[in-house]
Every structure is written in C-alpha cells, then in structure tokens.
Amino acid sequence: MNNKKLKILNPIMFIAIFTTFVAMLTYKISGFFNYDAYGFKELHEICGFIFVILAIFHIVYNWQWIKSQIFGIKPKKK
C-alpha cells in the first residue's frame, strides 16, 4: 500500500526539488547578468516548502523500513 503511494510521491518530490534548484539558479544567474527574473525567488520558496511537506510524508511512508534498518526493530512474528 505504502509502496504504491511512494511510487507517486517520489517523482513529485523529484520535480519539486528540481524546480526549487532551477528557480534559485535562474534567480542567481539573473542577478549576475543584471536582468529581471520576476517571481523566481518566490518559486524557489514555494517549491522548497512543498518539498519539505512531501519529505515528511516520505519519511512516514518509509517508517517501517527506518524502524527495521536504522533502529533494528524487527516486526513481531504472528
């Protein structure tokens, strides 16, 4: 179930962080070459925050894996 959610969530996270990065790059390059890249700083912020929210869900959906692999808590046998 969580795997299905992650298959949708992960590509969206990639798009969000990639947009965050490219928006900041565009904003910085526009400063360097002295032209107006209106709204790119805001785009960086918005996509950045979207990424942070999605990252929380990413951790929640991977919690079983984190518990077993990082903390060594194995699921109880039924």
Residues interacting with ligand HEM, by CB under 6 A? 17, 20-21, 24, 41, 44-45, 48-49, 51-52
**Nearer Cβ to ligand HEM, position 25 or 69?**
25
By beta-carbon proximity to ligand HEM, the closer residue of 25 and 73 is 25
Q: How many Cα atoms within 13 Å fall on the side-chain side of residue 63?
A: 5
Q: Least distance (Å) from ligand HEM to the CB of residue 47? A: 8
**Are the C-beta atoms of 9 and 57 separated by less than 8 Å?**
yes
The residue with its CB nearest to ligand HEM is: 48
Question: Smallest gap, in angstroms, from Cβ of residue 37 to ligand HEM?
Answer: 12
Greatest Cα pair distance in the chain: 65
For residue 16, count CB atoms less than 10 angstroms from its CB and return exposed for 0-12, middle for 13-18, buried for 19 or more: buried
Q: Which is nearer to ligand HEM, 52 or 60 (CB)?
A: 52
Q: Which two tokens mark 72?
A: 């060594």
